Amino acid sequence: MKILHFADLHLGVENYGHLNPATGLSSRLEDFLATFDEAVKYALENDVDLVLFAGDAYKGREPTPTQQREFAKRINRLSSQGIAVFLLVGNHDLPGAIGKATATEIFDTLAIKDVYVSARPDVYRIETKSGPIQIASLPWPRRSMLLSKDETRDLDFDEIKHKLEDALVRIIDNHAGRLEPGLPSVLVAHVWVTGARTGSEKMITIGQDHALLPGVVGNPAFDYIALGHIHKQQVLSTTPPVVYSGSLERLDFSEEGDEKGFYIVDIKSDKETGKRSTNYTFHPVKARRFLTINVDIQPEDINPTGTIMEAIDRQIDNVRDAIVRLHVVLPAACQSLVRDNELRSALKEAYHATIAREVIDDTRLRIAGGMAGGLTPMEALQAWMETKNITGERAEELLKYGEKLTEG
């Protein structure tokens, strides 16, 4: 049984892009589709039995018809060649109200052969070219579906979150109890797992996610646990494998150093003993590169433009076709000596380039009244962290304490 596991496609993220006049599409949409095409091509050329998508097909709950068309084209390429496709609903896919459909549910409505969509937790038996497999699903939960109003009455946010986590634990245990032991089984979940290293997704959801322990998700009844939601690919456990495939394309500079791709999972059964073994391999894709060039100008520098140009020249091979952020820290007295037109010319081979100056002065502006240039305090903090190139765990901690301060 050969499975391709990917997640967090996020079609519709178009930052740093431009309109391609030849196609009428955003150049960034084309970037995201190109990496999707790499996964589809691999599945078609390497005898894959099942493609598992672990949630977040689109940037938002109401994708454009063009985005839906492009997604459907690629799903059709897989299903028309006899490859089963399983689509899980993620948090970005959820509609704004109960009763409304997700964008991916159209495949269920049209009863597209070999395409399965899970908007609710369930266990599916799916026939593939290599035989049957069991897929236990855990889509992003809607609180109203798992907890009644009576259960949440008079509870604060943390108490509700803990109740929701308990409900998810029960669902996983229930799924495991419904499995046929003789068949391969996979848990596919769009969920935050404690201890996972984060990318841009955590930057926008910190403090809001329910979280499950790795030992809960890694139930030994499953041969493989295919995760979505976190954009950084990583293996949280090996017995059984608990794996985030990460996003296929880089969304922003917080993912600058992340390798992007998908996992190929092989589940094999010993004919004599009946025992199964699982092997999994990460396959990188050619995602658009992000590059930050940091330059710190000293007060005695009489040619800051030359210093910056030298820093760009050292990275010129990496600049070509990349999304580039030139971050210059300089004293106020040197501002007039920096010639932006020359810097932009030096970055002309970049796919997209921005120049940010951080001027060091004795005056420090304070954020007054909760607003600075139209930004909320949390938005201002995120903007400041980007100029400082602060990511990872330190960024998480700063955001966490920032939320506490603004709430107070």
DSSP helix/strand/coil, 274: coil
Q: CB under 8 Å to 379, separation ≥6 — which residues?
A: none
Which of the residues in the chain have pLDDT under 70?
96-99, 143-157, 160, 199-209, 362-375, 407-408
Give pTM, 2 decimals. 0.83
Helix axes 392-407, 377-387, angle to 10 degrees: 160
- What is the per-residue pLDDT for 408? 56
- What is the per-residue pLDDT for 342? 96
- The CA–CA distances, whole Å, from 105 to 68, 122, 128, 138, 375 equal 11, 15, 21, 16, 36
Domains and CATH numbers, the chain: 2-284 (3.60.21.10), 290-407 (no CATH)
- What is the per-residue pLDDT for 124? 97
Q: CB under 8 Å to 3, separation ≥6 — which residues?
A: 48, 49, 50, 51, 52, 186, 224, 226, 264, 265, 266, 267
pLDDT tens digits for range 118-159: 999 999 999 999 999 999 999 988 766 655 566 666 666 677
Peptide bond into 214 cis (omega under 30): no
- Pick the closest to residue 290 from 258, 245, 265 (CA basis): 258
C-beta of residue 4 within 8 angstroms of C-beta of residue 227:
no
User: Quick one: 363 exposed, middle or buried, by C-beta within 10 A (0-12, 13-18, 19+)?
Assistant: exposed
C-beta of residue 124 within 8 angstroms of C-beta of residue 86:
yes
CA distance 307 to 314: 11
The pair phi, psi for residue 357, each rounded to 5°, is: -100, 135
C-beta of residue 348 within 8 angstroms of C-beta of residue 366:
no
- What is the per-residue pLDDT for 81? 95
For the beta sheet containing 234-238, the strands, ordered from the edge strand earlier in sequence to the opposite edge, are: 122-128, 131-138, 185-190, 224-228, 241-244, 234-238
Residue 15 CB coordination number (10 Å): 11
Measured torsion, CA atoms of residues 100, 57, 15, 19, in degrees rounded to the nearest 10: -90
pLDDT tens digits for range 204-225: 444 456 788 888 999 999 999 9
C-beta of residue 327 within 8 angstroms of C-beta of residue 291:
no
- What is the per-residue pLDDT for 380? 77
